[in-house]
Structure 1
């Protein structure tokens, strides 16, 4: 390895999938959802090896600067004055990084029980990243999950590195089953690795409006302490989209590194339930929550005390202002509740 890998942690989520605990003002990466510590702290710990990683960079909302700064006092912060999606966040980071640096882009709200396989995959993918490929880490799937996107691998281009053949966005169950049977499909983890120069080049090819707006925003950025704030007016002209749609699904330089990893994007209350330790009746209870004769429920209250009696397979979440009740099987619809409350 020629130099240390530059971690870039994306911390700009809106918090809707784990509403009402997670909100736009305090999204899940600032909360303790699964495991010990907030999710952004867990991500920082994941890139704490000084023999592999440079000090981290975090791209997140300017409105959360104080909260993130307290959790990451040694990180460089790129503070977005307005949200523009992960494509803009990656563009800002690539422009703020030495062009020869290898960037490891990680969401701040994923849960990984043992990061050792990820470290091995990073080392395995480094030669391809240094050669100008855009690496995506493909999680070897455990079941035909419909809540994840997939990436299929093609011909090998290096030791444990494959050409990326196609992206499939959150397929129907039948399609997911076909992908699993093919033996060539992986969950698209949303974790990427590439040189800053390669990402700048691919942004200019496939998303010139995003690149131009991000470049102007960084050229007119203000710096205070550990934070760099891109120019708001310049950033306002940046299209809102993900790095997958803007670049990864169009570039002919994408490669996939398969990795067997205990990983979750913690994308719903059902995911929180699956990951959390359970009591003798299979319940997950948090905060001021109690259960009598209930089974297979996730019950959490940061507000009033809650007691469930004789119910099964429910999510019951309460704050001082809101109460959510939904079957575990419908947990993916929680975003609809958050949007309903926003419209009120």
Structure 2
């Protein structure tokens, strides 16, 4: 049995509250919102001390599996397991499955820490101390959650009322409170005994499984069977779908935390945000002398207390105050800072129209295990893409029924297979792939390969790919 903590990072959520950057297929945990690293990578970095933590278990889904693996590789971080949920079943089933996996890997008495992949957390002395207290409480048989000291009467979080102090330094949980009205939130803030429910936990696996057996047996049975029947696929553990989907769609709070007598909370003062809206990104960002938070590719003149972010065109904002301007490659959002919580409603409006629904689902830049591509231009019977391939990676050996392709190398070195011919192309050299011809693209070099692909044909969707061989198990 390990004496270290086993981190479990929940990375399967599909969020659109940070639209237009966050989409169903590109949620916020995998985006570089302001800094160089993603929120998921920041979560990995927080649990990277080998003296304290074992390599993390990441729970995600089929669609994000290669994003998880690649972003961990970028940091040079090893993972214990990447567990793939076949269907979404909220946090109770995911945590139960991860607990069983942790017990199989590290021993039945393992302590696990449940962490979100999309939270912004300030790692300081108070954060370290909170984790030490939580571990001590978990070793004492408590199911521990972390309560964040509220800084405002927020209505978007659940709250925890704390009870008496325990020998570990944690507190008993007096009660959990649903997301309150603004008046109730103000009263709780004034009382001083209520904390935001962070969604972070520390459990000893046998205690967690015992409480699941007592209060949510159907969740435990479904998750345990899904792990028992799981299939190993490259670096991924695929939970059995038929077993896992039997679990109720329920959170860990509803399943056990609000029922158990063993709940404990660690009141915490470290900086924390779930980055659930653009105003929270502004609050946690580095503000300039005019209280603006701005990314590269922006110019602000006479503008105050605003958030301006662009991953597409250069944004120029002049003479405005308390606004949010966010641009992706294919959409721009402009709104008042105080209306940031309403972005979710706007996304539902966009989803309802066939003309705009894709703007909520697919990002112009899509990531694959070998690299990715950005859609540059789509027209009638043609499409232009920028393709980037990581050093040493290759696409599947494939062919298409409905399109031909032209490749032009703009950076790096490409190994091109067309039929029986294999050749090396360098910058400014090109290749033509006739319709129906077997072909493959690879990067044999030491730097990123970038090329422009022009597709022409009667059907250009991604499902017109017949994979013949693939090193990522997709053929």
Q: Match for 1:342 among 338, 342, 351?
A: 351
Q: Match for 2:196 among 156, 178, 187?
A: 187
Q: CA deviation at 1:41?
A: 1.0
Change (3 A) 1:282 1:119: closer
Per-residue displacement from partner, 1:249-302 (whole Å, max 9, x unpaired)?
222210011121111111110011111123343322224333333222212222
Q: CA deviation at 1:211?
A: 1.7
1:171 and 2:176 equivalent? no
1:285 and 2:307 equivalent? no
Change (3 A) 1:287 1:239: farther
Q: Which runs of 4+ in 1 moved over 3 A?
A: none
Distance in 2, Cα, partners of 1:155 & 1:197: 25
**What is the Cα-based RMSD across aligned positions, in Å?**
1.9
Greater C-alpha radius of gyration: 2
Alignment gaps of 5+ in structure 2 = 354-475
Per-residue displacement from partner, 1:213-271 (whole Å, max 9, x unpaired)?
21221121111233111012222222223212222122221001112111111111001
RCO comparison, higher one (Cα < 8 Å, 6+): 1
Q: CA deviation at 1:115?
A: 4.2
Q: Which has the higher helix share?
A: 1
TM-score by structure 1 length? Answer: 0.94
Distance in 1, Cα, partners of 2:229 & 2:168: 42
Say which is worse superposed, 172-181 or 259-268, in terms of deviation: 172-181
Say which is worse superposed, 33-42 or 60-69, in terms of deviation: 33-42
The match for 2:31 is 31
- 1:56-135 to 2 correspondences below 5 Å: 56-73=56-73, 74-75=78-79, 76-98=81-103, 99-135=108-144
- Is the 8 Å Cα contact of residues 63 and 81 (structure 1) preserved in structure 2? no
Change (3 A) 1:339 1:216: farther
- Is the 8 Å Cα contact of residues 139 and 187 (structure 1) preserved in structure 2? yes
TM-score by structure 2 length? Answer: 0.69
Say which is worse superposed, 275-284 or 5-14, in terms of deviation: 275-284
Per-residue displacement from partner, 1:71-129 (whole Å, max 9, x unpaired)?
22411211112222112211110111213100111101111222432222222222321
Q: Match for 1:322 among 326, 331, 335?
A: 331
Per-residue displacement from partner, 1:185-232 (whole Å, max 9, x unpaired)?
111111100111122222222222222221221121111233111012
The match for 2:449 is none
Q: CA deviation at 1:308?
A: 2.6
Distance in 2, Cα, partners of 1:289 & 1:219: 51
Say which is worse superposed, 259-268 or 115-124, in terms of deviation: 115-124
Q: CA deviation at 1:36?
A: 4.0
Change (3 A) 1:125 1:306: closer
